[in-house]
Chains A and B, each alone.
Chain A
Amino acid sequence: MKEKNHNNSKVLKVINIGQCIGCYSCMLACSTQVYNNFSLQKSAIRVKTSGGYQGRMVINICRGCMAGACIASCPSNALEARAGGGVILHREACIGCKKCISACIGRAITFDKEEKKVILCRQCGICVDSCPHHVIDMEEVQ
């Protein structure tokens, strides 16, 4: 997997959610470039509507917590705090127990049934360049 060298102190942020048109370009960038797969199920960034298309667009991403609950929930030490916010996943250590998925109130972690491992954001920022409306960006964690 490729790792884009974004500044380690920055994490992915949703900055202009009202401008999102739901084109899924960010999801496609993540699934094809990070996970090398056309299936958007592989994307670590999740765009959807809240309450159907009559509602509004929402985006579920890793919020870049410092020492998030997901890390504490992991029984196999597969998750490690990332300098600057967010987590680093040691994929080989992930046993697919899904405890981190339940622990994250931000709904940022999903499960790859094929690989039997979790999918979560690497804070690489590849998705940012693909957004036509500057809905997301890499920013310093607060």
Chain B
Amino acid sequence: MKKKNMMIMTINLSSRDVLIEDREDLTGYLGGVALATQLLREHVMVEKSSLEEMQPIIFTKGPLNTIFPAVTKTCSMFKSPLTEELGESYGGLRTALAMGMAGLDGIVIFGKAKEPVYIHIDGEKAEMKDAKPLWYQNTDETTRLLHEQVGRPGLRSILAIGEGGINQVRFANVTVDTYRHFGRLGLGCLMGSKNLKAIVIEGEKSQPVEDPKSYRSLYREVYKKVTKTDVMEKYHGLGTSINISLLNDLGGLPINNFQKTSDVGAKAISGESFAQHRLIKKIACSGCPIGCIHIALHRKNFGEPYEYEMATVSYDHELIYSLGSMIGIWSMDGILELIETVELAGLDAITTGVLLSWITEAFDKEIISTEETIVRPKFGDVEGYKKIIHHLVKRSNDFYEEASTGTYRVSRRYGGQDFAMVLGKNEVAGYHTGYGNIIGQAVGARHSHLDNAGYAIDQENQKYNQEEMVQKLMEEEINRNFLNSLVICLFARKVYDDKTVVKALNSIGYDFDEKKLKDLGLKTFLEKIRLKKEMGFHYKKTSFPKRFFETSCCNTVIKKEEAEAILNLYSEEVEKLLSHT
């Protein structure tokens, strides 16, 4: 079996040094989150601020990226400016392809440039180039200008931050190739703190196919499963926005800051409505024949007679929830307008929506006033929310300074934590389905619904006892850690069962079996928890906003005592695993 390379590029923005190494010692980590966790362990200063100059940003791909259907993601890890704890995020479209073309398995960036720069990676070379003209440009204009540079259009990836990242909003994200993101947890803020406006990745690395027969036969098998069966139909058809109607019918769609969970207005913003009235095309990440990225046409009248402008905006369930139902917006145009606003500023949509909903309710409860908010917040008021987003990005006054650090911190200062919808300091996703959902986000390594899909466990309609719930959440998160090491799109998780993953790795010359995969998942799961603990996280410090237990959750009410009992049990099980490993 041919030796596998593990090419890691290290870029020091302070000294402008670039180093490229073949880290043979890391080959066993395959890529993605397993590799990124190790690189983070090597470079992160766990006790120092996330924005300390030498804190790293890590990007990793996996060996199956692009060459197998729907293996399309890139993993990023860092210390989160939002939570000051473990940061982990996944981006799609062309980044993994471009890293592969550059011949890179991992990129580590640390230090701080003296002036605004963007990094241009071309194969094994990396240059820091002047980004002063780009600095205050929005994400779209930045991407356009970089796109117009000489290079390999179609085979390169452009990562950019907007004004949110420039101004150190703690939940600023990174836009990837216009329509995807490294979202949540503030990677954009971290890039901004390093005077790093954008990253362009490309290359021409040759990668001969070692065993064409074995590879091609398996590729065809997986391709058929992806395109000819209904395993991924949900994502291709309406996309995840199919959940809006489903959750609303179940009584599990968060509305007006979780004050209720069902509303007749949901029909107007359902996945069905968007598909019928606004959808204009679907696009795909490089290497995925599904095409789940739903693009809507946002048509805006700006004058008479018949004066129109347009924007094309991507949408999905989490965006319709956070910038729609969560803040009482029941019109598709209103939601698209707000999505476009956060996109151009480079803010995380879920966090922005949850924060807006907290601001609105805190205002309604007279915890804050227009002295703080400047604008009068009101559920359903699109124009008002656009102004508030503007103040958040500009950090216009003392209140917005605090609000730009996220819902957890602003509610700690001003009050209203009972309805500050965060778990593990991260704003929650668009579900109120039961214990699986809230415990899942509370214990997940990045406090995301995607860590362990607790919301999906709730929707299995099974009565799980506390032990079973803990087991299911833990098993799913461990499983996702090895999927994320490869970095398979989680929408394709049912395509890539353990056997298929092993066969795929074997077909390109990796000596891996199911046990090794499981071990890698468990090892990564535990190493991330160790890192979290060193950064100050503890399960026992986790609290649940009271609102979760006040609002009907799929026609029942869940109890705080039960949630705490499951959390404690989870914590005990993790401690056992840590002590045995």
Write the residues of chain A forming the contact surface with B, with a CB cutoff of 8 angstroms: 21-25, 28, 32-33, 36-42, 46-49, 51-54, 57, 113-114, 130, 132-133
Cross-chain contact A53 with B208 (CB below 8 angstroms): no
Q: How far does the alpha carbon of A40 sit from the alpha carbon of B177 in the complex, in Å?
A: 18
Residues of B within 8 A of A113 (CB): 204
Chain B residues 320 to 347 lying within 8 A of chain A, measured CB to CB, are none
Cross-chain contact B289 with A32 (CB below 8 angstroms): no
Which residue of A has the minimal Cβ distance to B152? A41
**Quick check: is B127 within 8 A (CB to CB) of the other chain?**
no
Closest Cβ of chain B to A21, distance in Å, is 3
Residues of A within 8 A of B153 (CB): 48-49
Q: How far does the alpha carbon of A42 sit from the alpha carbon of B206 in the complex, in Å?
A: 8
Cross-chain contact A22 with B284 (CB below 8 angstroms): yes
Residues of B within 8 A of A24 (CB): 66, 97, 286-287
Q: How far does the alpha carbon of A33 sit from the alpha carbon of B215 in the complex, in Å?
A: 10
Cross-chain contact A114 with B206 (CB below 8 angstroms): yes
Q: How far does the alpha carbon of A39 sit from the alpha carbon of B202 in the complex, in Å?
A: 12
Cross-chain contact B177 with A53 (CB below 8 angstroms): yes
**Quick check: is B291 within 8 A (CB to CB) of the other chain?**
yes
Q: How far does the alpha carbon of A57 sit from the alpha carbon of B140 in the complex, in Å?
A: 18
Q: How far does the alpha carbon of A21 sit from the alpha carbon of B285 in the complex, in Å?
A: 9
Q: How far does the alpha carbon of A54 sit from the alpha carbon of B286 in the complex, in Å?
A: 16
**Quick check: is B440 within 8 A (CB to CB) of the other chain?**
no
Q: How far does the alpha carbon of A40 sit from the alpha carbon of B152 in the complex, in Å?
A: 11
Additional A-B contact list (14), CB under 8 Å, known A39-B101, A48-B153 = A21-B281, A21-B291, A23-B290, A24-B286, A32-B209, A32-B215, A37-B206, A38-B208, A38-B209, A39-B100, A42-B206, A49-B154, A52-B144, A52-B147
**Quick check: is B245 within 8 A (CB to CB) of the other chain?**
no
**Quick check: is B283 within 8 A (CB to CB) of the other chain?**
yes
Q: How far does the alpha carbon of A33 sit from the alpha carbon of B209 in the complex, in Å?
A: 9
Chain B residues 109 to 146 lying within 8 A of chain A, measured CB to CB, are 140, 143-144
**Quick check: is B167 within 8 A (CB to CB) of the other chain?**
no
Given contacts A21-B291, A52-B143, A132-B289, contact A39 B216 (CB under 8 A): no
Pick from A38, A46, A130: contact of B100, CB under 8 Å: A38
Cross-chain contact B69 with A54 (CB below 8 angstroms): no
Cross-chain contact A22 with B67 (CB below 8 angstroms): no
Pick from A21, A41, A132: contact of B155, CB under 8 Å: A41
**Quick check: is B227 within 8 A (CB to CB) of the other chain?**
yes
Residues of B within 8 A of A42 (CB): 206
Can you sample 14 A-B contacts with CB below 8 Å?
A21-B282, A21-B283, A21-B284, A25-B287, A28-B67, A32-B215, A38-B100, A38-B207, A39-B204, A39-B205, A51-B144, A52-B143, A54-B312, A132-B289
Chain B residues 163 to 205 lying within 8 A of chain A, measured CB to CB, are 177-179, 204-205
Residues of B within 8 A of A33 (CB): 212, 216
Top 4 closest pairs, chain A to chain B, by CB? A48-B154, A21-B291, A38-B207, A53-B178
Cross-chain contact A23 with B208 (CB below 8 angstroms): no
Q: How far does the alpha carbon of A109 sit from the alpha carbon of B282 in the complex, in Å?
A: 28
Residues of A within 8 A of B219 (CB): 32
Pick from B177, B206, B281, B284: contact of A23, CB under 8 Å: B284
Cross-chain contact A23 with B178 (CB below 8 angstroms): no
Closest Cβ of chain B to A83, distance in Å, is 28
Q: How far does the alpha carbon of A53 sit from the alpha carbon of B67 in the complex, in Å?
A: 22
Closest Cβ of chain A to B505, distance in Å, is 14
Which residue of B has the minimal Cβ distance to A25? B289
Given contacts A33-B212, A38-B209, A39-B205, contact A132 B282 (CB under 8 A): no
**Quick check: is B223 within 8 A (CB to CB) of the other chain?**
yes
Pick from B147, B178, B207, B215: contact of A39, CB under 8 Å: B207
Pick from B179, B215, B223: contact of A25, CB under 8 Å: B223
Cross-chain contact A39 with B223 (CB below 8 angstroms): no
**Quick check: is B288 within 8 A (CB to CB) of the other chain?**
yes
Cross-chain contact A23 with B216 (CB below 8 angstroms): no
Closest Cβ of chain A to B32, distance in Å, is 18
Residues of B within 8 A of A37 (CB): 206-209
Q: How far does the alpha carbon of A33 sit from the alpha carbon of B155 in the complex, in Å?
A: 19
Cross-chain contact A36 with B209 (CB below 8 angstroms): yes
Closest Cβ of chain B to A59, distance in Å, is 10
Which residue of A has the minimal Cβ distance to B93? A53
Cross-chain contact A41 with B154 (CB below 8 angstroms): no
Which residue of A has the minimal Cβ distance to B100? A38
Which residue of A has the minimal Cβ distance to B178? A53
Which residue of A has the minimal Cβ distance to B65? A38
Cross-chain contact A53 with B179 (CB below 8 angstroms): yes
Closest Cβ of chain B to A85, distance in Å, is 25
Q: Mark B284-308, 1 if CB is under 8 A from A, else 0.
A: 1111111100000000000000000
Cross-chain contact B178 with A54 (CB below 8 angstroms): yes
Cross-chain contact A32 with B216 (CB below 8 angstroms): yes
Residues of B within 8 A of A22 (CB): 283-284, 286, 291
Residues of B within 8 A of A25 (CB): 69, 223, 287, 289
Q: How far does the alpha carbon of A113 sit from the alpha carbon of B154 in the complex, in Å?
A: 18
Pick from B144, B155, B212: contact of A32, CB under 8 Å: B212
Closest Cβ of chain A to B402, distance in Å, is 35
Closest Cβ of chain B to A34, distance in Å, is 11
Residues of B within 8 A of A114 (CB): 204, 206
Residues of A within 8 A of B93 (CB): 53
Given contacts A28-B67, A39-B204, A41-B101, contact A23 B288 (CB under 8 A): yes
Residues of A within 8 A of B216 (CB): 32-33
Closest Cβ of chain A to B419, distance in Å, is 38
Q: How far does the alpha carbon of A99 sit from the alpha carbon of B155 in the complex, in Å?
A: 23
Q: How far does the alpha carbon of A47 sit from the alpha carbon of B287 in the complex, in Å?
A: 12
Which residue of B has the minimal Cβ distance to A131? B289
Chain B residues 71 to 109 lying within 8 A of chain A, measured CB to CB, are 93, 97, 100-101
Given contacts A54-B178, A113-B204, contact A40 B289 (CB under 8 A): no
Pick from B155, B204, B212: contact of A36, CB under 8 Å: B212
Cross-chain contact A40 with B155 (CB below 8 angstroms): yes
Residues of B within 8 A of A28 (CB): 66-67, 287
Q: How far does the alpha carbon of A48 sit from the alpha carbon of B158 in the complex, in Å?
A: 14
Closest Cβ of chain A to B95, distance in Å, is 13
Pick from B215, B283, B289: contact of A53, CB under 8 Å: B283
Q: How far does the alpha carbon of A132 sit from the alpha carbon of B283 in the complex, in Å?
A: 12
Given contacts A28-B66, A28-B67, A49-B154, contact A40 B143 (CB under 8 A): no
Q: How far does the alpha carbon of A87 sit from the alpha carbon of B46 in the complex, in Å?
A: 60
Closest Cβ of chain A to B70, distance in Å, is 9
